[in-house]
Amino acid sequence: MVNEVDHAKSHIVLVRGPVNSALYDLGRGEIYTIDPRVVDVLGGVQSLKPSYIGGKALQVLRGYFVRHPALAQYETSNNNSGVSEGIVKSLSCQSGPAGLSFMWLELTNACNLSCAHCYAEAGVRRTNELSHRQWKEILEEGSELGARHVQLTGGETTLYPGLIDLVEYARSCHYTGIEVVTNATRLEDRLLRQWATLGVKVAVSFYSYDPEAHDGITRSPGSFRQTVEGIKALLSYQIPVRANIVLMQGNLTHLKGTREFLEGLGLEEIGHDYVRPTGRGEVESRLVGEGVGKGKPEPNLPRPSERRRRVFDERPCSWITCWKSEIVISSEGVVYPCIFARCLPVGRFPEMRLKEIIQGQAVQKLWQITLDNVETCKDCELRYGCFNCRALALTTTGRLLAKDPRCQYNPYTGLVEGHGGKGMKERPKIRIDLINETVEEEVVIYDPKNHNLHHLNPMAGVIWELCDGNHTPKEIAEEVVSVLETDPVQVERDVTKTIEEFQSKGLLEVV
């Protein structure tokens, strides 16, 4: 009963979750979370033949729906066909081998700035960077494999000597979307002229309206002035410019002001993101982590990225697997699934050709991941409308299939809550209303509140019995060690993890 996708009406899809369920209106691109009781009513509606479900019945039912705060963005985008299509596509997620559609090419590691958060740890040109001829081969092979969008990035792209030639070559390889990432500090006229003629898009990272804060993050005095001049020059050539504000300790409170400043310059497309714990960003991310935890600037729920929404219609990618059909090639030829997933190399150019890498098991496996595979999310009713970052989950938890740490919605309780042991009793106690049965040392638990089922292996079953409100996790671990006589450190880790899992699934009493 749980997690089945039912089709009530051809464009209305009901996805059941452990507590709440969600109704996806694919026609309008809206998602509603609904109360378990209403699901039963809907159950009756579904048993009717489709022709008997009138629009009126649905309107009546709508009165019961609670709009989920996290889904506000879907509701405001009624006319955005991308959202609804995204849901349709991910619901009918094809499992066949996926093709390539987008490449990030990190042309060089050289950079004239040394930003505090740089995921590529850019600065000095590396000795074994790919040659100009090899980049051209990559563009050729990528085009043959179906890629139509390419982003040239770095380091600083303008420090790559053959940039003009490469952009021209990309155009001749039939790439329809070419985007150059630059800090806009050293743009020459002939570059701007070429970009304007060839319809190249430009992306600029920007940090603050406050020159000192900006220069503090780039660690390069004068970079604020140079970047602002650069953006003005780009706009004067009518080149489409996109700015991204990366938030970290030095500019955490500057988002609004920076946005206004950039809008004042005439920029329309402005995005923002928090620093990622990759490369030099790791330290910054830890600093911000604490700050964000205290004064949370906004509900941290995964959301559809602007970029994806913009290019959605053009790219055959699944809504929920962010990195599907995408690869990164670093300046040294190492291939990753995403710029932030640098601990997941999937191949190396030119030892392996792109075709081999793309069709290899490593890449295909990563591309096939959907939220149906991800811990916790696989039970969440919102999983087909959600955008999440596997790289972030991997770098923060060490597990590729962990839940996106930005998401604070717990599908097992139906509540948006803080993550990590919050609200747990010092001596964990299982909820009194749960029903459990033991079959051959394994425990099956039934939660009458949300009709959810849980299955514990014998070890977890022992821990379960000790969660009686009289033992601290440490005492439970000691008890387990006395029975099993295994490595106490390992057991303590396992016990903590198991109890945390009980907690996250709403099986423990809360303070």
Partner 1 sequence: MAPATTLLTLNVKVLSLPIEITTNHKSFLREFCDLTSALVSPANGEAPVVRFRVMQKRKYTHIEKEGRTVYRLDKDYAVSTLLMDEIRSSCYEHVRDYILLHAGAVVKNGRAILLPGKSESGKSTLTLGLMNYGYKYLTDEISAIHHETVEVVPFQRPIYASGWTRPLRQGVSKDFRVYRYRDMDDTTWRWQCFVPQDGAVMPRDVRWKVDWIIFPKYVPKGKAILKPLEPAKAVMALMQRGWNQRSFPARGLKIFTGLVRRARCYTLEMGDLEEACELVEGLVGKST
Which residues of this protein are in contact with partner 1, per CB under 8 A?
A: 1-2, 4, 44, 47-49, 51-52, 435-437, 439-440, 442-444, 446, 448, 451, 453, 455
Rounded least distance, CB 386 to partner 1, Å? 24
Rounded least distance, CB 500 to partner 1, Å? 22
Q: Which is nearer to partner 1, 49 or 294 (CB)?
A: 49
Q: Which is nearer to partner 1, 95 or 128 (CB)?
A: 95
Q: Which is nearer to partner 1, 399 or 446 (CB)?
A: 446
Rounded least distance, CB 41 to partner 1, Å? 12
| Strand positions, DSSP E, 330-451 | 334-336, 347-348, 409-410, 415-416, 435-439, 442-447
How distant, in Å, are the alpha carbons of 91, 138, 148, 258, 325 from that of 97? 17, 21, 18, 42, 10
Q: Which is nearer to partner 1, 232 or 455 (CB)?
A: 455
Q: Which is nearer to partner 1, 304 or 461 (CB)?
A: 461
Rounded least distance, CB 132 to partner 1, Å? 50
Rounded least distance, CB 414 to partner 1, Å? 17
User: Number of H helices and number of E strands within the chain?
Assistant: 18, 18
Question: How big is the CA angle at 238 (ends 76 and 155), to the nearest 5 degrees?
Answer: 85
Rounded least distance, CB 439 to partner 1, Å? 4
The Cα–Cα gap between 236 and 121 comes to 32
Q: Which is nearer to partner 1, 201 or 449 (CB)?
A: 449
Q: Which is nearer to partner 1, 338 or 443 (CB)?
A: 443
Hey, what are 276's tokens? 């990622």
Q: Kindly write down the DSSP assignment for every residue of 167-221, as one continuous string.
A: HHHHHHTT-SEEEEEE-SSS--HHHHHHHHHHT-EEEEEE--SSHHHHHHHHT-T
Hey, what are 491's tokens? 């057991």
The Cα–Cα gap between 178 and 170 comes to 8
The Cα–Cα gap between 434 and 429 comes to 11
Rounded least distance, CB 284 to partner 1, Å? 44
The Cα–Cα gap between 126 and 238 comes to 34
Decide: 342 and 119 in contact? Cβ < 8 Å. Answer: yes
Decide: 42 and 9 in contact? Cβ < 8 Å. Answer: no
